[in-house]
Structure 1
Amino acid sequence: MTNPSILYRGGVLHCPADPRATALLVSDGRIAWLGAAGDAPRADVVVELDGALVTPAFVDAHVHATDTGLVLSGLDLSSVRSAGGLLDAVAVFAAGLPGDAVVLGHGWDDSTWSVPRLPDAAELGRAAGGRRVYLSQASMHSALVSQALLAACPEAAGVPGYDGSGWLRRDAHHVVRAVARGSVTRAQRVAAQRLALEHAASLGVAAVHECGGPEISDEDDFTGLLALSGAGVPEVYGFWGELSGAARARELGAVGAGGDLFADGALGSRTAHVSRPYLDGDGCGHGYVSAEQVRDHLVDCAAHGMQGGFHAIGDAAISTVLDGFAAAAAELGTDRVRAARHRVEHAEIMSKRLIAGFVEFGVVASMQPAFDRLWGGAGRMYEARLGLERSLASNPWGSMHSVGVALAFGSDSPVTPVDPWGSVRAAVAHHSPAQRMSVRAAFAAHTRGGWRAVRRDDEGVLALGAPATFAVWETPAGVQGGLPVLQAADPEVRGADDPTPLPVCRRTVLRGEVIYGEGVS
């Protein structure tokens, strides 16, 4: 049976090909007509937009759905500002759990604390009434754990990153994380995944890129999420991060063998691999792969027709990855490497040489504008780790966009919340004026850029014959040039704390199906 045709009329459409369009017709999941509402054809159903803005729906190019859902329904520590506040939050949350439960929390960020003292494993255990406790840092690359959880993971004591105080990083963190996540039942996991996808849909997101892998999730978690894709929720495009694991990634249903395939760690945990030492800690972080491993992984991806990619934040890690790209290109040919649209996640600490490497090898940069909004600029975490000059030079999406690097924006949720218009505004308001983008360019990176990053080039636009994937918005600050006004008129109040109200999603449509919001009045 053919689905009914639906006419959306009386809106403001972000449609550069026809800027005067005020209506669109959806038929069989595609846009069958665009134009002025007065010229619209007949339809089975008519939806009155009442002046609302219609844009292509967002794509979040880097998420962790299960963790996002667990944070949305569990212990969110992002507002904690001291060790005492963290312990109080743990105590309140743990009091409502069974005695044998694991307390799972996320989001503490000691760079925002006036006294950056971390509670130790004994304090966490007392606060949780003896329960096992796992609290991931905002970057998700380290965690605070209780004595009971340390005791349940004796194998962690012999690997890099272990600390008896309960602050675990590197390999020790991966060991303990797997045990803590093992406490989540299948029913809890499915509920968390669906909650995360429904939340994304409520924010105008119609597709997400899930970054899984053996170090951060398991195969059941990954395939279970893919099974939910598009079933009344956003579509899920999975990346499985396992070295030379392209065949396994394909078997699991992934579109790529990359995502969180770690070349290094994170700035928040001082494990990102940087070329100059951290100012507030010893050393330059840690590199987890060699150029030869990168080469072999990309060659393996080519043999299986898969996208590859790596998580790389520090400039030393990105340099290693690009050396591997060069070695792969020497074996496969540069054109073949470019055609694969391999990705690098985050790409925070760059240089002109590294940006040139992205251009040469056609690397897609999957970036998160909220990182600069939260941690960039003077007086914030990047300055503490790197110094102000390197902080302002981080996350250089403006420089990358200007020379043609393909950008795909996302959140890395739950590292930062799913917040697409907030991310667009963050890209427009980078702490360094040299790295700022236009609203139009940032919006494209968060919509069409996400589709192109999974090689779906006909998506992310309102155009005749294109998939009917769009969002309907209230725009309290108004519309300018077919996009919402996101910044205050006064330059003095722009930036991370800009008071301009962001658009509110009224409806999200995926290939003609409403996945969020029913009536539009």
Structure 2
Amino acid sequence: MLEQSLFVNGHFHTNGRDRSTPAAVLVRGEKIVAMGTAEELRQHTTGKIEVIDLGGSTVIPGLTDAHIHTANLAREMAAVDLRGTANVEQALEKIRDFAAGLTPGAWIFGGRWDFNSWTVPIQPNRQALDAVTSGHPAALPSVDGHTVWANTAALRAVGITAKTPDPVGGEILRDSFGEPTGILRETAHDALSAIMHSASAGDLRGQLKSAQEFLLSVGLTGVHDFDGEECLTAYKDLQASDELKLRVYKSIPAEALEQAISEGRTTGSGTPWLRTGPVKLFSDGALGSHTCHVSEPFPGESGNLGIEVMPFDDLLRLVRRAAGAGIAVATHAIGDRANHLVLNAYEHLSNHPLEASKQTPGSRQLRHRIEHTQHLLPEDVTRLARLGVIPSMQPTHCTSDYPLVSTLLAGRNVASYAWRSLTDAGAILAFGSDAPVEGPNPLHGIHAALTRQDKNNKPDGGWQPAQRLTLSEAIAGFTSGAAHASGEEAIKGRIEPGMLADFTVLAQDPFKVCEKDVRDLPVEATVVGGKVRYRKDA
């Protein structure tokens, strides 16, 4: 007999069609079977039942992070953290202290430095890193992950010298003598990234097991993960040992596409706990690294339109290859030109259907996505909605980056973080965090979408406030919108009979507090599959 649980003394915001707010929910196995009052539901139960008193807390559908790098997050929880450093000197001091505690030969990973926010915004170099790393190889991604600061030992480990040419879609910064400075952009740091994702970074299975406890504590019941195949293997191990507590929609890296096809993986296949997601492609870089692909040069950088990481012909070929095998496509695009080209590829697929011999069941219904969708040409807002493309966006990117956007993209006719415009055009937004680039707390993202303000409630009135969303719309981005993006709207994103019993339990009702207080609402409990996976103070 399936286990039964009766959740009572709650205030449930169902996100359902009837907008009801029941006080109790009955769960059998992993699914909701009935809602109403505790008295009503008790009359319709037989056999053993566990009663869970929610103590008057507010319950919303389980929150899903629709764009996160859980392996990177898990690994960086024990790595050097350079966020918030005011200058390169502070960053180097932190690295020196971290290196002092390492065993001989260990790599130094972590990073997340942001030269744009330093008092003297100059990119660092390998010589400065050499002076504080005591011979340890060091590879430190920038805050956006699109640039890596490496020391001499790390460059030697992957064979990067003055004679190494820039790869397609990447750049090795060089000094006046042609020597690498230690700054590697986009595909130029692929070899170092491979080491960051190897056993050199520790036991990923154990790291993910610990990280999921943290993710549960901030109210997440599921994730759309965009890390590599080693992450998939670790999640499979956790699932096999019944230690997986979060639902995982696992993407396929571009380099593993052919392997995935040969194994018969298709988007949506798997179990309710671990399902195959889209293939992840890259169109451009990031704004902070000055590598996102834009239509006009960056100020003071004549000729720099960013980096087209994947030439359009290659992008189109891979989009068609994946779709023909029943795999949806999620393409990273930040700059307006990158977003335009990705939409061109998706529109080409729409206008030139795959040959019948190349189609798999469901391939025409695949939901393609653009990851980040940060800066759009105005005409591409409606085009994206018309094509049914999912704008997979991260609200806290807006509130972290608006000073940089105001400087680097000032005066351009672009729609930046255009949540309201996209929603009004009919697009269904899916929200995430891009952790560890940003913190993974979904309430921070809901607050950002609601206010267009950062943690200090700046700027006053919100940045470009016309693009704000309502609270219901902001929550939907992390619930029904995320479920739509993964093709799971029939079982996730709402609290209704027949849906999975995934809930986020909050100490206060977000609809009854000041907007500024939504960001720091305490999570009382997180329920996944009808079981309490996290409870505050438990």
TM-score, normalising length: structure 2: 0.86
What letter matches 2:55 in structure 1?
D
**Whole-Å Cα distance in 2 between the matches of residues 176 and 300 of structure 1?**
28
Deviations for 1:339-391, whole angstroms, at most 9, x for unmatched residues?
A: 21111100111122212221222101110000011111xxx222232226668
**Whole-Å Cα distance in 1 between the matches of residues 232 and 94 of structure 2?**
30
SS at match of 2:223: strand
> Does residue 513 of the first structure (1) align with residue 531 of the second (2)?
yes
What letter matches 1:40 in structure 2?
L
Q: Is the 8 A contact 2:62 2:493 kept in 1?
A: yes
Partner of 1:491: none
Partner of 1:494: none
Deviations for 1:496-517, whole angstroms, at most 9, x for unmatched residues?
A: xxx6662212221112122222
Partner of 1:235: 247
Partner of 1:492: none
Partner of 1:189: 204
Partner of 1:485: 513
**Identity value in percent:** 27
Partner of 1:385: 408
> Does residue 207 of the first structure (1) align with residue 222 of the second (2)?
yes
- Deviation, structure 1 residue 471: 1.6
- Deviation, structure 1 residue 257: 6.8
Q: Is the 8 A contact 1:338 1:363 kept in 2?
A: no
SS at match of 1:97: coil
What letter matches 1:460 in structure 2?
G
Q: Is the 8 A contact 1:375 1:381 kept in 2?
A: yes
Select 1:423's aligned residue among 419, 438, 445: 445
Q: Which aligned pairs between 1:338-487 and structure 2 lie closer than 5 A?
A: 339-376=365-402, 380-387=403-410, 393-430=415-452, 431-458=463-490, 459-475=492-508, 478-480=509-511, 485=513, 487=515
What letter matches 2:513 in structure 1?
V
What letter matches 1:11 in structure 2?
G
What letter matches 2:220 in structure 1?
V
**Whole-Å Cα distance in 1 between the matches of residues 96 and 255 of structure 2?**
40
**Whole-Å Cα distance in 1 between the matches of residues 344 and 412 of structure 2?**
26
Question: In the superposition, relative to structure 1, how do residues 180 and 18 fare at CA in structure 2: closer, same or farther (>3 Å)?
Answer: closer
**Whole-Å Cα distance in 2 between the matches of residues 66 and 107 of structure 1?**
15
Select 1:289's aligned residue among 293, 296, 310: 310
Question: In the superposition, relative to structure 1, how do residues 92 and 399 fare at CA in structure 2: closer, same or farther (>3 Å)?
Answer: same
- Deviation, structure 1 residue 179: 3.1
Task: Give the count of matched residue pairs.
Answer: 494
- Deviation, structure 1 residue 251: 2.9
**Whole-Å Cα distance in 2 between the matches of residues 99 and 464 of structure 1?**
57
Question: In the superposition, relative to structure 1, how do residues 28 and 500 fare at CA in structure 2: closer, same or farther (>3 Å)?
Answer: closer
Q: Is the 8 A contact 1:249 1:257 kept in 2?
A: no
Question: In the superposition, relative to structure 1, how do residues 47 and 518 fare at CA in structure 2: closer, same or farther (>3 Å)?
Answer: farther
Question: In the superposition, relative to structure 1, how do residues 513 and 257 fare at CA in structure 2: closer, same or farther (>3 Å)?
Answer: closer
- Deviation, structure 1 residue 188: 2.1
- Deviation, structure 1 residue 288: 2.5
Question: In the superposition, relative to structure 1, how do residues 239 and 254 fare at CA in structure 2: closer, same or farther (>3 Å)?
Answer: farther
Select 1:167's aligned residue among 183, 203, 211: 183
Question: In the superposition, relative to structure 1, how do residues 27 and 399 fare at CA in structure 2: closer, same or farther (>3 Å)?
Answer: same
Q: Is the 8 A contact 2:279 2:328 kept in 1?
A: no
- Deviation, structure 1 residue 134: 1.1
SS at match of 1:39: helix
Q: Is the 8 A contact 1:139 1:266 kept in 2?
A: yes
Select 2:157's aligned residue among 146, 152, 156: 152
**Whole-Å Cα distance in 1 between the matches of residues 537 and 289 of structure 2?**
45
Question: In the superposition, relative to structure 1, how do residues 247 and 340 fare at CA in structure 2: closer, same or farther (>3 Å)?
Answer: farther
**Whole-Å Cα distance in 1 between the matches of residues 21 and 72 of structure 2?**
42
Q: Aligned-pair RMSD on alpha carbons?
A: 2.6
- Deviation, structure 1 residue 76: 1.6
